[in-house]
Structure 1
């Protein structure tokens, strides 16, 4: 589980084209993956009308010649580098190649700088279509309580349903509380497994569900909803006349509502903070083979407000497709809001970490603001507007350099107020929107000071840093929606370049995309490094990324003394740098859906 959100191989993987399901082989083993190059590019490629920049590691202080070569070896473009200077987060001396003016298309391009050649990459309009499908289909493969079907996920990833009340599982159809918490059991089946473990956490599920549903809400505003529509993803619900991304989001939303305490019980309307094993399971452990008892953990204000926010969002987004479900979401959101107001100090401690992640959250003003914003955007009711405007977060700078996260959610409310029609006074709405644009400008300025154009400061390489890159890039993309100024699209796309190989390690952090790609993320089922009968993570899985704190034994042994941006290792044992998590894949999926629009 993520402790914090701050805590020639094929370059493209399974793609969904023209409504047909196309599969390729599972990702190759690490031995077959190419070594990094000193010329760091987006190893998937570039969009014809997008930025095309690369970073070169060099001690030279003079401009260097570069050549862009097509698959036949012919020179398609050439020029000289510009100075990038010292990159503080990596310790590298860098120069930059900018070939954005080249508008040709094709596959198998390489970039050669001073005799050194990059990994191959493509330039094409449909560059991100396959990754869009895979990054979102990650969530289907993380589903709890349903079989994962070979026809959808591929034979290597098929498995029986986990935690559906079938032995040896001891959950999740009738799960008791921890001793002293409650005297009844709840059916809390479904939802997504959180990360490499098989716990389910409302505060992490909340932000992940919000980002998936928001990706559709944003695409619909932009006129691109069809790209995320019915039969665009590998999910069992395809063909039901509901956008597939909303089908996927609903799987988590149904679970979140099951975590709500029913009427007639103490703390009715509140949400249990989490459900997971009583003791940590080892690696590997397939979900259907987990024999540990499962427990509900105490209700928390943070979890309850996550439910209020996501269920309120659900009520407006799902209404055109399932009015009854939307109404049920709104009723749940209202109950959660009322319960949280009555119990504002049920705080989740950092100490409850046996058998699963603690997800402690002792500051809940941000969740109150987020939930109020979602309820107001959905209902337009004055009581929720008053809660928004009375919150100190409404006028605060909620976009920090580190970026929003599961425990810092005020920015989600700000984004909703900036983009979803509501009744805020014009001056207030102008200020709200300006705050998003100002935050994006700050992230662009940070990128401009670095050799690898990362929207993170040097001290931002913490647990889940790649998720923070994607979160900050999504803010830049929202600024593009609000202003239509090209520099924001450019910035969002360059952040994606970093994740796909234009980084100090020359490492694509997304499985199946790039010649030097992550393959051994920390996961109990996708554990090929430990057990050759099990698969590597599927294409579209997203590694947590560099973490300067080195918070696991493998990282401490292998990465001692590393510069912040270099504190990553593709090893299944390095859970602090190389885990997967729903709250990291969600912003990746959001960002790639934005990048794929055309």
Structure 2
């Protein structure tokens, strides 16, 4: 395993490997003083009694007896002991020891989380298409040629900018609109929690704007390019012809018919199935794309009209938001992502939530009651429909994974509207909580492709629900999902690259920076574990090295820190952006 620990941590590790029948699982990021504090002890023996104490790293005399609750565990372990010490709030560095075996957990802190939201913003900068500050060069200068649009196929259009979607170099309005909106939403919610360390181009310096807004503006500028005229909205640049090995973006050798590193197709939203190769997407309209884009642009107006030097840009965003929202009303339904030679695509098939989000945001800035009326209609139409109500779902089927429309509707609506929006959230979370009760980790998300995005979504929705209602019944669920992301999982690893430092985190990720240059980029959320039934059917996965987690793999889910496993270990742009609000919440001390 790829450990990066202090001397004390290494000592704990060597103690652990002499007794591989037992393992501690902790939140590697630590615990908030007034938050839930949970540790698991995984035991290969079917024992019913173990004794645990909390010890201070700094003070060898400190020792606190802890209660433990015995539970059946996921295989390959037989028994789990769940240890809580919520009432202990003293800041510092600690570890837990099992007295019978002498086994110790890795050290952990009690205190506020660092400002890791800045590392996630830094990762977003490395995903920029066009000028990329990470490698100091520009890429994909020929994006691109229009298809399915109002102009003849292969007509030149300007779709430069945006972000590469993941380890590949495609660009999607499906995900880019959400990532932009979520960064803006995080800043609007926590405006004092972000720093100004880079210029608008991503290079070091200060420009009077927090970096999260610089990055959000990068996204907004791309959204504006994809809407070059009133009746046009483009939604995807490139397709899976990109997928033929790792390459640096500025040296992209993908050939779409115009030579290596040449023009790439730019797909126009039409509301009809699309695909230039064997596989065709499904479509009934494109209100999902238009609604989410309009919401992002309306949020852009709310953020940038607060600064004198960006008010003209803010007005551009608002004008475009009004136009794109109208396109959504005229084309209700969904448009999916396009593939070319493989069956995988973004299979989004919901749209009313996106139109609700846009309508609510537009009501905030225009005060026109027709938008509130629309938001109310779309809120009722989508209701509690979410992946959270389901036992499984297709890839990105009900995207975004949190219905931010309900939260925006709650912010703008009357007392009845607020109660209805909160109730939709409550019904979703109750269903997740029921699933969470069935496993020792207390998590209730689905282990479908990009499951870590779903884990973050549960925590985010529960945080917003608590704000909306004051109801704390899902507080433990929030922290269980956060724990999962930060290492309290079967593999004992964080799911965010480079974080926390001096811990186990994804290293061999499916990303050209890592595979070609052996570079680690902090702050990216990887896809996460998959149900074995799905993982075993994925195309082209053959591990590049022995599975370092083979002794910890539950039979029913799989996770590999191996670049060859694109299904569990690929960083995602939109999933990482979704983390920003969650990490900022943890950094505020609430």
TM-score greater than 0.5 by the shorter chain? yes
CA offset at residue 194 of structure 1? Answer: 0.7
Residue 237 to residue 260, structure 1, CA distance change in 2 (3 Å): farther
SS at match of 1:95: strand
CA distance in 2, matches of 1:589, 1:116: 38
State the match for 2:304 in structure 1.
318
Q: Distance between the aligned counterparts of 2:422 and 2:149, measured in 1? A: 46
* Number of residues of Structure 1 aligned to a counterpart in Structure 2: 531
Q: Secondary structure at the match of 1:127?
A: coil
Matches within 5 A, 1:40-189: 40-58=25-43, 59-71=45-57, 74-87=61-74, 93-107=79-93, 109-112=95-98, 114-115=100-101, 117-129=103-115, 131-149=116-134, 158-163=135-140, 165=141, 171-172=142-143, 175-178=144-147, 182-183=151-152, 184-189=155-160
| Structure 1 residue runs without a partner (length 5+) | 1-7, 12-31, 150-157, 166-170, 220-224
Structure 1: 4+ residue segments shifted above 6 A = 34-37, 555-562
Q: Could you tell me whether the CA contact under 8 Å between 2:149 and 2:268 is conserved in 1?
A: no
Q: Is 1:426 the counterpart of 2:420 in the alignment?
A: no
| Worse overlay, 177-186 or 379-388 | 177-186
Structure 2: which 5+ residue stretches go unaligned?
7-13, 255-261, 271-285
CA distance in 2, matches of 1:475, 1:125: 23
Q: Cα offset for 1:278?
A: 7.2
Taking only aligned residues, the RMSD between alpha carbons, in angstroms, comes to 3.4
- 2:481 is matched with 495
Q: Which residue of 1 aligns with 2:215?
A: 248
**TM superposition score normalised by structure 1:** 0.80
Alignment partner of 1:525: what SS?
helix
Contact in 1 for aligned 2:302/2:365 (Cα 8 Å): yes
- Counterpart of 1:284 (choices 246, 253, 266) is 246
CA contact (8 A) 1:237 1:244 kept: no
Report the equivalent of 2:460: 474
| 1:275 equivalent in alignment to 2:237 | yes
Aligned twin of 1:153: none
Q: Give the one of 177, 199, 212 matched to 2:170.
A: 199
**When the two structures are superposed, what TM-score results if normalisation uses the length of structure 2?**
0.81
Q: How many angstroms apart in 1 are the aligned matches of 2:380 and 2:148?
A: 36
| Helix, strand or coil at the partner of 1:69 | strand
Q: 1:309 to 1:316 in 2, by over 3 A?
A: same
| 1:163-207 Cα shifts (integer Å, max 9, x gaps) | 2x2xxxxx23xx112488743222222111111111110011111
| Residue 408 of structure 1: how far off its partner (Å) | 3.0
Contact 1:546 1:565 in 2 (8 A): no
Indicate conservation of the 8 Å contact 2:57/2:107, yes or no.
Answer: no
Tell me the equivalent position of 2:278.
none
Per-residue CA distance 1:489-542 (angstroms, 9 max, x = gap): 543233211111101111211122353221111112332xxx4xx034312222
Match among 353, 364, 383 for residue 396 of structure 1: 383
- From the superposition, tell whether residues 74 and 354 of structure 1 become closer, same or farther in structure 2 (CA, over 3 Å): farther
Q: CA–CA distance in 2 between the matches of 1:536 and 1:216?
A: 29
Measure the CA separation in 2 of the matches of 1:379 and 1:507. Answer: 46
Say if 1:489 and 1:232 are closer, same or farther in 2 by CA, change over 3 A. Answer: farther
The answer to whether 1:328 aligns with 2:291 is: no
- Aligned partners of 2:316, 2:447: CA distance in 1, in Å? 40
Is 535-544 or 283-292 further displaced after alignment? 535-544
